[in-house]
Structure 1
Amino acid sequence: MPKAPTLIEQRDEIVAQLQDPNYDGDPSELLARADKIAADIEAANQRDARLRALRGAQLPAGDPQPQPGQGNQPGMQPDERGNPDPVSAAEAFVRSAALAQFREHGKRGQFSVEHRAAPAGTVTTGTQPQQNTRVPGIIPNNPDFPLLVAGLLDRQTSDGTTLEYMRDTSGPQSTWNKAAVVAEGADKPKTGPFTFDLITTTLKTVAHWVPITRQAADDNGQLMGYINGRLTYGLEYLLDRQILTGNGTTEMQGILTTPGIGSYQPGVGSTDVKLITVRKAKTQAELAMYPPTAVVMNPLDWQDIELDEDANGQFRVIANVTDPGAPTRLWGLAVVTTVAMTAGTALLGGFRTGATLWERQGITILMTDSHADYFTANTLVILAERRANVAVHTPQAFVRITFAAAT
């Protein structure tokens, strides 16, 4: 039997017919054949590419092979999108090859595993001096709806241990914006002056540790409970407090302790409730030309706002009590409640416009048996730490709110 023409032979035949000015066949039928052969060739190319990728696929060097039943262990399940990658510091820790090797060697010695939101390797210190990180400018961004104060800020990665950035001290727009309508032939006004301070600081290390028995260290569920429930939460809580009230010397530079931020407080004798106070503070921020995106307050103050009633006993704020997971908003602002904020005070502002969180090291989990007399007591130590600092480069983007005392 005659051999069937290959895809290439069929393509060449159709190309010759399309180029033939004397072709007297059906043009529509010829174009349909051309489309079909082009689709067949594309499918063959894709199949060949997938085959080459499959043959070249390899597991990363040093990663342990999945064991039977491993997918059902705590921390080994895929995330809600089906991705196998770790989605928390605890999952990264229990999945790590370092932990598997630590257990294989009888839980002796020390190791660490770092996890950060963006892909990154383990941070090590080499012999070359680190370069300072200098921020070239201010890049505003859009807000999101986080549960933590840190999530309100623009987040960047630092490559050094010293952070240098420019802080805008120009003041309100009315003091430097000299734009005006100019008659033909007249001199144009000069805008300014703009003033900036060069701020030099260091990245701060935040850390704490807990003891854990050797038996508990063999249980992924207990390990994740310690890491997520105590260590990671403790770091996140302290980071929020540092972002708000850090002293800027031995601690991070907090927004509330940064010179130049705005302030709003009801006048003496004012009867404004907290709901109204936040709205007036929002207007002050907008008049300063820095539209706010969020407000941070103590849970007690947010409780007063949600439970505020009018003269008819109706709640002024429509609280979604049937869906506690719904985004919390007030006057169009995202609301973050945290005990890191002192009751009676709130912080309103354009958080991504006004500040950046610089991180040198993601949350790193370390485990060791070399601590005091813990070795003889069959006890290990799990330590969690991170290195970061806050650059408050536009103080005018924030307004400190002081609520009127209850009467």
Structure 2
Amino acid sequence: MSYREAFRSLPVTGDLTNNAAPQYPEGSLKKQSTLSFADTLFPVATIAHWILASRQVLDDEPALQGFVDLQMREGLQEKIDREVLTGDGQPGNLTGLLTAGTALDGVVGDNRLDTVLIAVATLQAQGAQRVVVGLNPMDIIAMATMKDASGAYLMNPLVPLSGVLGASFTAASSIPRGSYVAAATPQGAYTALRQDVTLEVSREDADNFRRNMVTLLTECRMALVIANPELVLHGSFVAPATASAKSK
């Protein structure tokens, strides 16, 4: 599962004033809550790339056509993930989670797992129902292989972080090693798709017909909505001050 897919959700925004309460006595007027919306614009970005390939290659080897399709989609997905995480918000780009979120770095004396647990708990304390945490694969391995003073693993290295505070964890190479992103979805952030990933093949491009070439275009149109920056946390890990537990 990619980091973008982890944030795909229904487009829900706005601040709720929650006045839910028991109805008493029977027949009395029930409590009214209010939901206010702010006019905030989030850019819709078109992310795409294309290649040229010979018609003969695609016709002669179906497996190669599938390989090219996979490479094009994975290449696009990699760029989408980078935009979702680190987009700078400039014209044509998304405003990424690391750009618009709230910084919450680890503190001296805490290890990687401590920092992640504090981030998840901080979001849950603010009412987050679903928390997604993105980590660099190397940091996941570092946490999975943490040991106590006797050399025993602190968690099952085959299923690291499974069930930790009910959060979902996903590996993302786009996240710099030594840092994390944690967000409530959809209260904090979600992606709004205008066009899912598509792959189109055309011979009607430039002189393709005369050269027996085809153009393969893969693209996606989407927006990243940061509904509440305080529910999107990111930060760096701080190395432990003591060596009571090995975290590297």
Hey, what does 1:152 align to over in structure 2?
6
Identity, % of aligned positions: 23
Could you tell me whether the CA contact under 8 Å between 2:123 and 2:131 is conserved in 1?
Answer: no
Other-structure match for 2:142:
304
Of 63, 66, 90, 1:221 maps to: 63
Describe how 1:8-407 pairs up with structure 2 within 5 A.
147-155=1-9, 197-218=38-59, 219-228=61-70, 230-250=71-91, 251-258=93-100, 261-267=101-107, 270-320=108-158, 328-371=162-205, 377-405=211-239
Q: Distance in 2 between matches of 1:149 and 1:361?
A: 17
Larger Rg over CA atoms: 1
Secondary structure of residue in 2 paired with 1:200: coil
SS of the residue 1:257 aligns to: helix
Q: Which residue of 2 aligns with 1:29?
A: none
Q: Give the distance between the partners of 1:246 and 1:257, measured in 2 at CA.
A: 7
Whether the aligned pair in 1 keeps the contact of 2:199 and 2:217 (CA below 8 Å) is: yes
Residues 363 and 156 (structure 1), Cα distance of their counterparts in 2 relative to 1, 3 Å cut: farther
Query: Conserved in 2, the CA contact under 8 Å of 1:282 and 1:292?
Result: no
Q: Deviations over 1:12-43 (max 9, x none)?
A: xxxxxxxxxxxxxxxxxxxxxxxxxxxxxxxx
Alignment root-mean-square deviation, CA? 3.3
CA spacing shift, 1:277–1:155, aligned 2, 3 Å: closer
Structure possessing the higher relative contact order (Cα contacts under 8 Å, 6 or more residues apart): 2
Which residue does 1:81 correspond to in 2? none
Does structure 1 conserve the Cα–Cα contact (< 8 Å) formed by 2:109 and 2:239? no
- Structure 1: which amino acid aligns with 2:220? R
Structure-1 separation of matches of 2:69 and 2:125: 44
Name the amino acid aligned to 1:359. L
Which 5+ residue runs of structure 1 have no aligned equivalent? 1-146, 158-164, 171-175, 180-193
- CA separation in 2, counterparts of 1:405 and 1:327? 19
Q: Distance in 1 between matches of 2:123 and 2:51?
A: 43
Query: How many angstroms does 1:244 deviate by?
Result: 1.4
Answer yes or no: is the 8 Å Cα contact 1:167–1:197 preserved in 2.
yes
TM-score under structure 1 length normalisation: 0.49
- Which SS does the other structure have where 2:5 is aligned? helix
Alpha-carbon offset, residue 291 of structure 1 = 4.3
Structure 2 length-normalised TM: 0.77
Amino acid at match of 2:221: R
Identify unmatched segments of 5+ residues in structure 2: 21-34, 242-248
Preserved contact between residue 281 and residue 401 of structure 1 (Cα < 8 Å): no
Number of equivalences: 229
Q: For 1:349, what is the secondary structure of its paired residue?
A: strand
Structure 1 counterpart of 2:184, one-letter code = G
Distance across 1 between alignment mates of 2:4 and 2:151? 37
Say if 2:120 and 2:131, in contact at 8 Å, map to a contact too. Answer: no
Question: Helix, strand or coil for the counterpart of 1:248?
Answer: coil
Per-residue CA deviations over 1:187-232 (Å, capped at 9, x if unaligned) read: xxxxxxx98541124421111112222212213322111111x111
Is the partner of 1:295 in helix, strand or coil? strand
Runs of 4+ residues over 6 Å off in structure 1: 176-179
Shift of 1:345: 1.4
Q: Is the 8 A contact 1:241 1:340 kept in 2?
A: yes
The whole-number CA distance in structure 1 between the counterparts of 2:235 and 2:84 is: 16
